[in-house]
Amino acid sequence: MFKLFKTLSVLSLLITISACSEQVEPANQAAQSQAASELIAETATDSATEADKANELFEEIFMQAVKRSPTTQSFLGIKDDQDKWDDLSEEWAQEGLQIAKDNLAKVNSIDASKLDPQTKVSLDLMQQGLQQQIADFKWRFHNYPLNQMRGLHSAAPALLINQHKIDEVADAEDYISRLNAIPVLFGQVIEGVNIRAEKGIIAPKFVYPYVISDSENIIKGAPFDAGEDSTLLADFSKKVNQLDIDAAEKEQLISRAITALKENVKPGYESLIKAVKLIAAKADTQDGVWKLPDGQAFYNTALARTTTTDMTAEQIHQAGLAEVTRIHAEMELIKESVGFDGDLKKFFTFMREDEQFYYADSDDGRAKYLSEATALIDTMKTRLDELFIVKPKAELTVKAVEAFREKSAGKAFYQIPSMDGTRPGIYYANLYRMKNMPIYQMEALAYHEGLPGHHMQLAIALELEGIPKFRKFARFTAYTEGWGLYSEFLPKEIGMYSDPYSNFGRLAMELWRACRLVVDTGIHAMEWSREQGIEYYANNTPNSRNDAVKMVERHIVMASQATAYKIGMMKILELREKAKTALGDKFDIRDFHEVVLKNGPVPLDVLTQYINEYIADTLAQ
């Protein structure tokens, strides 16, 4: 395997000394040689010391941020503050801004000239991150904290169910404390929503029924009303009943949880629902962020942060249109290969409506989908050695999205494993409506969310040695989702997608991401309406109209985010082609992937730098 990084400072110093010593008298040359050796040793020590200093600071800054976020701690498997929720107050935000400024001053004091290349990249990324955090503080209200995609109304119970483990009584006590703290948490959410409303930042009308429905689902069932246990009570009871304690203690803990649910969770959600209804009455049907204060500048910043490029909205829009045309042409070939009689639009209708492409909308159908998705991932595991050098140690499991949030959640998503490896990575499939999960897309979806997609990428990042934690947990969407989309394409090169319909499904998913470039920029930069966006998807993809509605609504509440997938994939493929052309017979796909994965998530310009170094290093061998 190639050596990714070279410490050039000492080598350069040796070359310089050698060149200067050629004219030195023998006696003096010996003295010079000794002096050179001492200087080299001193330089190496200084470099190591400065690198150690830098990495200690990076660790301090990362852990400082983790300490300020109890929910982040839970995601990382840390239990220090698991009886608390994050502070969402303006005072906390202002404090965070000052911390960022103080940390930037500390980071800027590091002498970059004394760092090895890897630590220099870490320094650049830390500086960039802090600078952007400070610069973007003015946009902190330019979002919709309650929407159909995300928000604490659904994230809080999801965290309790999926991240808050109960291994001992103290964990159960902490769970109850979090239940009791819901009114304070939601009070801060309501305050934030009201501040935004005063500034003219209100989500469109379609958002609020989703939020209200998801919130009402949490307070259905026992102990709120008759019927089966509510989502949270069922979760708490199941976890407590698995503890190795006597029955009376279990009963007491469950009783206290019931009290917390009735006295704090229910009133907290009722207050949130009331506040949402009041905001909904003020909402309009304008969809793009162009309607917000300084909306165009905000969107331009969002695109830059999401894509980690300097591409304009117009350039992204045009790239999307070009990719849609290319993919349609490839789909035409598949249509002809299966002998379909009709145009591409009719083929889309056939793929969308024919029952052979869907499992039954039943418990058996859902179980079959999960079983088949797991089998696809298990098969891919046996092929990883052909493509990769290092594989993730963490396990991967496939799971259906929980009932309480499946109606509004996305089609599929991935959750990283815990830092200690005790919780596996999870590929979530949304099986709420089986007609939204065609069999012909199952293969590409499993590769994207599971292997060789996000699990290969993000689990490895957590397990990397030699880079600071802040880089392991960094999220550069174009890198992360670009890899996910690239991972849909990659298995085709080793013979997967043997069924033409599955290959069509792969292209359909890539087409979907190409359309995102068109529609996201259309809505937020060109003032398209929600309906215009829906029609574009409906006319250009085989996906259901329900898919189109969900996707456009996602664009609206998460401006720019959906542009990351195709921009990132295009860059990875561009860099791979560059490496193949430059290296010829020396090109090894496994080495290329090693460069992409072994440095953690990075902006696309930094990834380009790594690939250029890989090319130069391999050519020099």
DSSP structure string for 126-164: HHHHHHHHHHGGGGTTSS-SSSSS--HHHHHHHHHHHT-
Domain count across the chain: 3
Instruction: From 261, 284, 307, give the residue that closes a domain.
Output: 284
| pLDDT per residue as tens digits for the range 511-523 | 999 999 999 999 9
Domain-located, residue 41: yes
Asked if 262 and 332 sit in the same domain, the reply is no
Residues 222-252: tens digit of each pLDDT? 999 998 999 999 999 999 999 999 999 999 9
- Name the residue among 238, 211, 229, 225 with its Cα closest to residue 155: 211
Query: Would you state the torsion angle of the CA atoms of residues 446, 449, 450, 455, taken in this order, to the nearest 10 degrees?
Result: 170
pLDDT for res 419: 74
CA distance 76 to 469: 11
Among all chains, which residue has been given the structure tokens 């029955």?
247
pLDDT higher than 60, residue 218: yes
Q: Is residue 354 part of a domain?
A: yes
For the beta sheet containing 396-400, the strands, ordered from the edge strand earlier in sequence to the opposite edge, are: 396-400, 425-429, 412-415
User: Is 358 a residue whose pLDDT tops 50?
Assistant: yes
Assess if residue 345 is contained within a domain. yes
Residue 614 counted as domain residue: no
Judged by average pLDDT, the poorest of 11-20, 185-194, 341-350 is 11-20
Q: Are residues 27 and 173 in the same domain?
A: no
pLDDT for residue 47: 55
491 shares a domain with 377: yes
Task: Look at residues 529, 517, 548, 43 and name the one whose alpha carbon lies nearest to residue 286.
Answer: 529
SS3 assignment, position 229? strand
Does residue 590 fall inside a structural domain? Answer: no
- If 0-12 CB within 10 Å is exposed, 13-18 middle and 19+ buried, where does residue 197 land? middle
Cis-peptide into 223, omega within 30 deg: yes
Between CA 13 and CA 33 the distance in angstroms is 12
The enclosing H or E element of 96 equals: helix 90-108
Q: Is 105 exposed, middle or buried (0-12, 13-18, 19+ CB in 10 A)?
A: exposed
Owning domain of residue 202: 152-284
Residues 231 and 351 in one domain: no
Model pLDDT for residues 446-461, shown as the tens digit of each residue = 999 999 999 999 999 9
Q: What is the pLDDT of residue 48?
A: 61
- C-alpha 608/C-alpha 41 separation (Å) is 33
Give the domain-ending residue among 537, 553, 570. Answer: 570
Residues facing 396 on adjacent strands = 425
Which range (9-13, 398-402, 467-471, 574-578) has the least confidence?
Answer: 9-13
Q: Is residue 3 part of a domain?
A: no
- Predicted pLDDT at 421: 77
Q: Which two tokens stand for residue 351?
A: 């793929």
Mean pLDDT of all residues in 485-508? 98
What is the spatial distance between Cα 303 and Cα 288, in angstroms, rounded to a whole number? 14
Please tell me whether residues 382 and 252 are part of one structural domain: no
Claim to verify: residue 501 and residue 532 sit in the same structural domain: yes
Q: What is the rounded average pLDDT of the residues 479-489?
A: 97
* Distance between CA atoms of residues 273 and 270, nearest Å: 5
CB atoms within 10 A of CB 364: 10
Distance separating alpha carbons of residues 515 and 521, to the nearest angstrom: 10
* DSSP letters for 576-589: HHHHHHHHGGG--H
Which range among 44-48, 51-55, 130-134, 253-257 shows the weakest confidence by mean pLDDT?
A: 44-48
Q: Given a cut of 90, is residue 22 above it in pLDDT? A: no
- Is 265 in the same domain as 339? no
How far is residue 184's CA from residue 608's CA, in Å, rounded to a whole number?
45
Q: How far is CA 202 from CA 207, 216, 297, in A?
A: 10, 21, 18
595 belongs to a structural domain:
no
Query: Do 312 and 355 belong to one domain?
Result: yes
Residues near 573 by Cβ (< 8 Å), separated by ≥ 6? Answer: 486, 489
Residues 343 and 484 in one domain: yes
Question: From CA 329, how far away is CA 327, in angstroms rounded?
Answer: 5
pLDDT in tens, 433-449: 999 899 999 999 999 99
* 217 & 331 share domain: no
Torsions phi, psi for 379 (to 5 deg): -65, -40
The confidence band for 405, taking pLDDT boundaries of 50, 70 and 90, is confident
Q: Give the model's confidence band at 77: pLDDT under 50 very low, under 70 low, under 90 confident, else very high.
A: confident
List the Cα angle 602/445/313 in 5-degree steps.
50
**What integer pLDDT is reported at residue 28 of this predicted model?**
36
- Tell me if 596 is assigned to some domain: no
**Cis geometry, peptide bond prior to residue 468 (ω within 30 degrees of 0):** no
Q: Is the pLDDT of residue 133 over 60?
A: yes
Note the Cα 29 to chain centre separation in Å: 58
Using the predicted structure, report yes or no on whether residue 121 has a pLDDT greater than 60: yes
Looking at residue 300, what is its pLDDT?
98
* C-alpha distances in Å from residue 236, one per residue of 250, 252, 588: 10, 12, 50
Mean pLDDT of 563-574: 98
How much is the pTM? 0.86
Query: Are 253 and 242 a contacting pair, CB within 8 Å?
Result: no
Domain boundary among 247, 263, 284: 284
Do 448 and 503 lie in one domain? The reply is: yes
Rounded to whole angstroms, how far apart are CA atoms 381 and 386? 10
Quick one: 173 and 24 in the same domain?
no
**Euclidean distance between CA atoms 479 and 564, whole angstroms:** 8
